Structure 1
Amino acid sequence: MPFITLPFVPSIADVAAEVLNLAEAGPLILAAVLLSLVVIYIASKVGGEICARINFPPVLGELVGGVVVGISVLHLLVFSEGAVTEPSVLTTFIQQTAGMDGTVASVVASTASEVISVLSEIGVMILLFEIGLESDLQGLLKVGPQAAVVAIVGVVAPFTAGTLGLVTLFHVDLVPAIFAGAALTATSIGITAKVLAEIQRLTSREGQIIIGAAVLDDILGIIVLAVVASLAKTGTVEVSNVIYLILSSVVFLVGSVVLGRLLSPFFLGMVDRLTTRGSLLIPSLIFAFVLGYVAVILQLEAILGAFTAGLVLGETEKRRELEEQILPIADMLVPVFFVCVGARTDISVLNPLEPENRAGLIIASFLVVVAIIGKVVTGATVFGQPGINRWAIGIGMVPRGEVGLIFAAVGSASGVLSKSLEAGIIVMVILTTFLAPPLLRLVFKKPQAEENLLPEGAGVAVESPPEG
């Protein structure tokens, strides 16, 4: 009789133990999430206030605050991202005070980390929804051709220069070089948009071109990522998948705006008939989250759905009222996103005293130069806009932020990147993310020229931040 291997079936005792662990961990997961939020809010406020007082964008302070409380310094926040890591200081503190065993502590740590990550994603969705509200759809359509050129050049230039440079100068294999070149194409729309809003340039001609280009850049980045990820896995590119992503992106953006405009009278009529609290805010969030869900189903980014929802609702008569109502929610959730971006950033790869970092730093120096120049040159491609600040447009496309980290994470998971190349990409992401906000403020002049504003002065705060 042949030997038959049966699949492992957990015993009743094993299942019972797992249930008990989850039951015991439940309240402690909430405790871990609450403590994590306390750390995040303190880091964001302290960092933001310090930067505001030295005339830097507060978002930069939130990023730095995240670095301080994250894996680089205090180790208060640790995001496992599916890998086994040492517990955070908060997890250890809860374990010691609550008397947890190692198994329960692991459940608490991983689940709390996932909850904070989800809150971070919702935070960036709220930010992009808010940015969509403050943007002028007609203005974005007017700068559409310029934004498209900026986006395309901002993808092609750094990708080509980075890939060829790595192959010819550093003798990197073609597939890893292509992956690193693809990481150079990213643009963090969240970071750039927040800085533009803080310095009251979101509705300037430059701001609208940057936002429009960043949205298109995000779509192009998704397509590029799909191509290089396929190349890393199989060695070939699935043309059908690339065509699908291109078509779904176009259909989603155009279809959402057109359908939203057709349905906006129905939306306003429904809102006017509601009598309970949140009669405007809740339906608006439902609309944003539905579009975000559709975007994810189409293999796009949820933030594109949220941004599109903001654009559509920003065209209605409820725009100002909705901006006021979304502001407290943005104040609560958006800092979670920026602090988490900083907390995930490991600045130890910048230490030249570590021998294993030196090769990565040499490659990183090249990648940083290409990353900055490859985006700054996009400002020179703007046409038919006399007097426009081309430096601001180019620098506004520089920060890679969380988008660049996604490229690094996918490349690391695929095993296609060497340690030095992976470190080089991470250094490039760190420096472009932290350099762009102060540079963006620097290249904008103190007086805000009236001719550079679009007809609709939306999203301009009552008080301007202190100028240095």
Structure 2
Amino acid sequence: MTLISPVQPFLLATASPENAPIVLSGVLLSLVIVYLASKVGGEISKALDFPPVLGELISGVLVGASALHLLVFPESGAHASDSLLMPVLQWVGGLTPEGVTEVFESQSEIISLLAELGVIILLFEIGLESDLRELQKVGSQAAIVACVGVAAPFAAGTAGLMLLFHVPAIPAIFAGAALTATSIGITSKVLSELGQLKSREGQIIVGAAVIDDVLGIIVLAVVASLAKTGEVDVMNVIYLIVSATGFLLGAILFGKFFNNAFVAIADKLQTRGKLVIPALSFAFLMAFFANAIHLEAILGAFAAGLVLDETDRRKELDGQIIPIADILVPIFFVTVGAKVDLGVLNPAIPENREGLAIAAFLIVVAIIGKVITGWSVFGQTGINRLAIGVGMIPRGEVGLVFAGIGSASGVLSKPLEAAIIAMVILTTFLAPPFLRLAFGEPSELAEQPALETEPQTLP
């Protein structure tokens, strides 16, 4: 104990020194639950011929706020008394009621942070598996898909809420904005599992999801300004547009000069991790820069992966990233599921009924508004337009962010908040099996063209 106790208060800064060891115990127990849930869910899903990520999401729901309450989070409205882990930790550590609350909040914060690291690693891995040249080829199509995928559900959702349900303008705009998001983490993982990430459809979906994420940040800034002041901060919106565009273009241009330097540095190092450590450092640095200019950290990680995908050490690096992703990425998917509360779908609760009616409308708009994006692709013969549209459907954690900010600002009524959460839940869980149906059987040949041309890129 004396070897690690000086470190614990530093690592667990949100907890008092005397409770830090119990917070660590809570984190360890939570990770055991996460890994068991992800593995059992993934294996069952795989056995049933569904993408494993669907099993991880559903397992998260089962261990989370909707069922077993083994993994619950304050940001979802849960309290220490809602967690079944807290009595165990209270018994082990002899905690006071105040100590239980402190431990609950601290260990939840750490698990959420690990989940954030997980999605950063996931997007870095997806960037490594993508092909920058192919993305550039479909860049115009991806941009159109993203713009249609933001504009169509936003306009239809906002207008429908105001006309059909007589929702005031600002809450309707906020709910419409929640419809614009696309979870690139969930979609890209499913595409990878189906062997479609490097297909034309996969590249358009990933490119559109990245652009969609940038547009989503701008939309969120607009509606957040509306919620706070009733008016839009135009300069902030202009800043976000310029910084997002500059960041992505700058990363691509920078990569053309950085690749040789990266390989030279890795070749000179002699110790273990000589390739993966510089790569992760670069990914985290890019994520930091993105976060620092008020973009999503995952955009920086994805850009870093795209840059390093152009090096001749990409295959080796990809193999070294996979074990790290296997450790951190399941935390992200299980926690996304765990933060979902299916209680908002219970019609037996009177206050849920209005929300369910609005939810049914939002779900229809959320699905149709994204599916039609596949038919906005031009100049591509023989392309699976349905798969592109379906790939844009899942809202995932991005939609929950909109709901959380709207709830915290007081803009959303309880029925409208419940409706948004219900929409996020169903679009998140419907997308993986729908993608499977849209693409048909998983294809090993989907990756074949990229594998055949790979040797030509080596010096």
Shorter-chain TM-score tier = over 0.9
Amino acid at match of 1:35: L
* SS of residue in 2 equivalent to 1:187: coil
Q: 1:259 to 1:273 in 2, by over 3 A?
A: same
Q: How does 1:266-345 map to 2 (within 5 A)?
A: 266-345=261-340
Q: CA deviation at 1:456?
A: 1.8
- Partner residue in 2 for 1:133: 128
Find 1:49's aligned residue among 25, 43, 50: 43
Aligned partners of 2:262 and 2:121: how far apart in 1?
20
CA contact (8 A) 2:80 2:100 kept: no
- Partner residue in 2 for 1:22: 16
CA contact (8 A) 1:363 1:421 kept: yes
Aligned partners of 1:138 and 1:263: how far apart in 2?
16
Q: CA deviation at 1:83?
A: 5.9
Q: 1:176 to 1:447 in 2, by over 3 A?
A: closer
- Partner residue in 1 for 2:201: 206
List runs of 5+ in structure 2 lacking aligned partners. 1-12, 455-459
- Partner residue in 2 for 1:11: none
* SS of residue in 1 equivalent to 2:17: helix
CA contact (8 A) 2:194 2:442 kept: no
Bigger Rg over Cα: 1
- Partner residue in 2 for 1:10: none
Find 1:72's aligned residue among 47, 66, 77: 66
- Partner residue in 1 for 2:417: 422
Whether 1:437 and 2:432 are equivalent positions in the alignment is yes
The CA RMSD over aligned residues, in Å, is: 1.7
* SS of residue in 2 equivalent to 1:64: helix
Q: CA deviation at 1:360?
A: 0.2
* SS of residue in 2 equivalent to 1:23: coil
Q: CA deviation at 1:259?
A: 1.2
* SS of residue in 1 equivalent to 2:271: coil
- Partner residue in 2 for 1:60: 54
What TM-score do the two structures reach when normalised by structure 1? 0.92
Find 1:174's aligned residue among 169, 177, 181: 169
- Partner residue in 2 for 1:156: 151
Q: CA deviation at 1:399?
A: 0.2
Deviation string for 1:263-303 (max 9, x for gaps)? 22111111100000000000000000000000011100000
Amino acid at match of 2:427: T
Whether 1:456 and 2:447 are equivalent positions in the alignment is no
Aligned partners of 2:288 and 2:219: how far apart in 1?
21
* SS of residue in 2 equivalent to 1:352: coil
Q: 1:280 to 1:181 in 2, by over 3 A?
A: same
* SS of residue in 2 equivalent to 1:320: helix
Amino acid at match of 2:52: P
Aligned partners of 1:320 and 1:412: how far apart in 2?
44
Amino acid at match of 2:144: V
CA contact (8 A) 2:195 2:442 kept: no
- Partner residue in 2 for 1:81: 75
Deviation string for 1:328-385 (max 9, x for gaps)? 0000000000000000000001111111100000000000000000000000011111
Aligned partners of 2:94 and 2:298: how far apart in 1?
40
* SS of residue in 2 equivalent to 1:203: coil
Identity of aligned residues (%): 63
Deviation string for 1:398-438 (max 9, x for gaps)? 00000000000000011000111000000000000000100
Aligned partners of 1:261 and 1:107: how far apart in 2?
48
Q: 1:339 to 1:82 in 2, by over 3 A?
A: closer
How many residues align structurally? 440
Q: CA deviation at 1:122?
A: 0.2
